[in-house]
Homo-oligomer: A and B are copies of this chain.
Amino acid sequence: MAAQEAAVRAQAEAVRRLKQDKADPDEIAKEVAKLLEMKAQLGGDEGKPKFVLKTPKGTRDYGPKQMAIRERVFSAIISCFKRHGAEVIDTPVFELKETLTGKYGEDSKLIYDLKDQGGELLSLRYDLTVPFARYLAMNKITNIKRYHIAKVYRRDNPAMTRGRYREFYQCDFDIAGQFDPMIPDAECLKIVHEILSDLQLGDFVIKVNDRRILDGMFAVCGVPDSKFRTICSSVDKLDKVPWEEVRSEMVGEKGLSPEAADRIGEYVQLHGGLDLIERLLQDPKLSQNKLAKEGLGDMKLLFEYLTLFGITGKISFDLSLARGLDYYTGVIFEAVLLQQENEHVEELVGVGSVAGGGRYDGLVGMFDPKGRKVPCVGVSIGIERIFSILEQRLEASEEKIRTTETQVLVASAQKKLLEERLKLISELWDAGIKAEMLYKKNPKLLNQLQYCEDTGIPLVAIVGEQELKDGVVKLRIVATREEVNIRRESLVEEIRTRTSQP
C-alpha cells in the first residue's frame, strides 16, 4: 500500500510539473486521468473506487418506519376501493413508447424513456390511466370497475419535502363502461370523500368542473378552437400562480386577444354549488353553447347525486379547475387539503392536491383499431403528499410505531441452550406464531430483554435447564415483568391468547 501511495504522489508531482511548464493540455489531461485512476484504485481501505452513495434524483428509500405508515395509508385506500366493489389489475412498469405518445399534451416531455438496447422502444409509465386504456382496448373489455396501485414516473422538478417525487405511487380507481350519466362520476367523488375523511388529514375541498363547460366557456369568450388545449393548460396553473400571470401567458406566449383573456378571467373566478350551476344555465352566452349546456346539465345531475350521498359540503364547482392532461372529456375534479390542522407540527407541510381525476371517454378509442369507444371515469389518489403529512405528524407525536409483528422472543437464561432455542422456535413457527431469537450462541438474558423493549415484542419464552426438565417454558410478559411457567404443550395457545387483538 505504501508503495502505491508513493506512486500516486509521484504521479501528482508529475502533473503539477506539467501544469507549471504549461505543457500541451492533452498531455496534462492524460496524466491527470492516470492520476485519478491510480487514486481510485487506491481508494478506500481495500482499494475500491469511490461511489456516489445515493438514490437517483427525485427518489427515496422507504425504511421500516416509513413503510409502516405507507401500509396504513394503502390499507385505508384499498379498503375503500374494495368497499365499492372494485377488482384489481396490474400492468408492466414500462410500455411501448408509442403507447404513451400523444396522450399527455405539454407534459409529454417529462416521460422517462429507456435506452435503445435493441428491440422495442420503451418508456416508463407516466400514469396508470393510459396503461388502463391500453389494457381495455387490448383485451376488448367494455365494462370493468378496477383499482390499480403502482408507481409512476415523471422527470419533473422534484420538491421532495413537499411530497413531489420523480417516482411516486398512484392509487387509481376507474369505472369503464356505457352507463347512465353521472352515476359512476358521483361514486368517484364519494370515494375521494371517504378516503380523505378516513385518513383524518384535516379539512379538504373537492373542486369539480367539466371539460365541456371549459370548452364552451373558451368558445363564448372568443378563443379559437385550435387554442382550446393550450389555453386550458394556462388556466390549469391558477392554483399556483395569480390570474395576472396566467393572463399574461395567454396573451403574451399564446397569442390570445386581451379581450378574450379578460372574458375568461371573469368566468374562472366563479365557484359555488347548485346555485352557481343554475345561474350559469341562465347565462345568456354560455346557455347558447351546446357543449357548455351539456356540461352544466350533467353538473346539475352530479350535484343532485352528491346531495343524496350527503357530501356536497366539501364539493365546490370551480370554473378555474382545468387539469393538465389532454385526455379528459367531461367531469374533472381535484381534492385539495385546506390547511394543516395539526398543532404538533411546527413546520407547515405544503398543502396541495392529494387526489384528482375525471372522465375520459375517448382514450380507449385511441387504442382500439376500429376506434371503438369505452367511456371511462376515474380517480387517482396521490399518496406521497398524504404520506409526507402523516410522517411529519408521527415524528412530532409521542406514538411509537412497531415495524414488526413479532409476538414472542425465544430466549435462554443460561449458556449452551442454542439447540433448545432452535427447537422451540421451530415449533412456534410451525404453529404459526411470530417468533424471533437472537442469532448468538450464548446471548445474555439482559440483551434479550432489551431487544424486546427496543422492538416492542410483548412476550419472552425463556428456556432453561430446570424448565426443560419440568417440561415447561417460562413466559415473561415484557410490559409487567410478570413471569409464569407454562406447560410446553400449552405454550402456543397461551401466546395466542395473550397476543390476540381485543
Interface residues of A (CB under 8 A from B): 44-46, 48, 50-57, 59-64, 67, 70-71, 82-96, 98-99, 112-117, 119-120, 122, 124, 134-135, 137-139, 144-146, 151, 153, 155, 167, 175, 177, 179-180, 183-184, 186-187, 190, 194, 305, 308-310, 365-371, 403-406, 418-419, 422-423, 426, 429-430, 432-436, 439-441
- For A175, list chain B residues within 8 Å (CB): 439
Given A54-B96, A138-B54, A89-B113 contact (CB < 8 Å): no
User: Of B45, B113, B371, which is within 8 A of A114 by CB?
Assistant: B113
Q: Lowest 6 A-B CB distances belong to which pairs?
A: A179-B439, A64-B87, A85-B436, A59-B92, A113-B115, A62-B90
Tell me whether A429 and B50 are in contact (CB under 8 A).
Answer: no
Tell me whether B56 and A95 are in contact (CB under 8 A).
Answer: yes
- For A98, list chain B residues within 8 Å (CB): 51-52
- For A117, list chain B residues within 8 Å (CB): 112-113, 155
A98 vs B55: C-alpha distance when bound (angstroms)? 11
A125 vs B502: C-alpha distance when bound (angstroms)? 42
User: Of B64, B137, B419, B434, which is within 8 A of A308 by CB?
Assistant: B419
Tell me whether A46 and B365 are in contact (CB under 8 A).
Answer: yes
Given A436-B85, A439-B179, A63-B139 contact (CB < 8 Å): yes
Tell me whether B61 and A135 are in contact (CB under 8 A).
Answer: yes
Q: Give min CB distance, A42 to chain B, whole Å.
A: 12
Total copies of this chain within the assembly: 2
A89 vs B368: C-alpha distance when bound (angstroms)? 39
Given A45-B371, A83-B435, A90-B67, A138-B53 contact (CB < 8 Å): yes
A284 vs B210: C-alpha distance when bound (angstroms)? 83
- For A64, list chain B residues within 8 Å (CB): 87-89, 144, 146
A93 vs B429: C-alpha distance when bound (angstroms)? 32
Tell me whether B180 and A55 are in contact (CB under 8 A).
Answer: no
Given A84-B434, A94-B167, 17 extra CB contacts under 8 A: A46-B365, A51-B98, A51-B99, A55-B95, A56-B120, A59-B94, A61-B92, A63-B139, A64-B87, A92-B167, A93-B151, A114-B114, A115-B115, A115-B116, A305-B422, A308-B419, A308-B426
Q: Give min CB distance, A24 to chain B, whole Å.
A: 28
Tell me whether A177 and B439 are in contact (CB under 8 A).
Answer: yes
A88 vs B423: C-alpha distance when bound (angstroms)? 26
A422 vs B305: C-alpha distance when bound (angstroms)? 7
- For A138, list chain B residues within 8 Å (CB): 53-55, 61
Q: Give min CB distance, A43 to chain B, whole Å.
A: 8
Q: 17 A–B contact pairs at CB < 8 A? A: A45-B371, A51-B99, A52-B98, A53-B137, A53-B369, A55-B92, A56-B95, A61-B138, A67-B88, A82-B434, A85-B405, A85-B434, A86-B404, A87-B403, A87-B404, A183-B439, A194-B430
A99 vs B127: C-alpha distance when bound (angstroms)? 27
- For A423, list chain B residues within 8 Å (CB): 308
A90 vs B59: C-alpha distance when bound (angstroms)? 11
Q: Give min CB distance, A412 to chain B, whole Å.
A: 13
Q: Give min CB distance, A63 to chain B, whole Å.
A: 6
Tell me whether A371 and B309 are in contact (CB under 8 A).
Answer: no
Tell me whether A61 and B83 are in contact (CB under 8 A).
Answer: no
User: Which of A48, A83, A120, A309 has the largest count of B CB atoms less than 10 A from its CB?
Assistant: A83
User: Of B71, B134, B406, which is within 8 A of A85 by CB?
Assistant: B406
Tell me whether A180 and B92 are in contact (CB under 8 A).
Answer: no
Tell me whether B419 and A96 are in contact (CB under 8 A).
Answer: no
Q: Give min CB distance, A173 to chain B, whole Å.
A: 13
Tell me whether B44 and A368 are in contact (CB under 8 A).
Answer: yes
Tell me whether A56 and B96 are in contact (CB under 8 A).
Answer: yes
- For A52, list chain B residues within 8 Å (CB): 96, 98
Given A138-B54, A146-B64, A48-B120 contact (CB < 8 Å): no
Q: Give min CB distance, A382 to chain B, whole Å.
A: 17
- For A86, list chain B residues within 8 Å (CB): 404
A167 vs B94: C-alpha distance when bound (angstroms)? 9
- For A433, list chain B residues within 8 Å (CB): 83
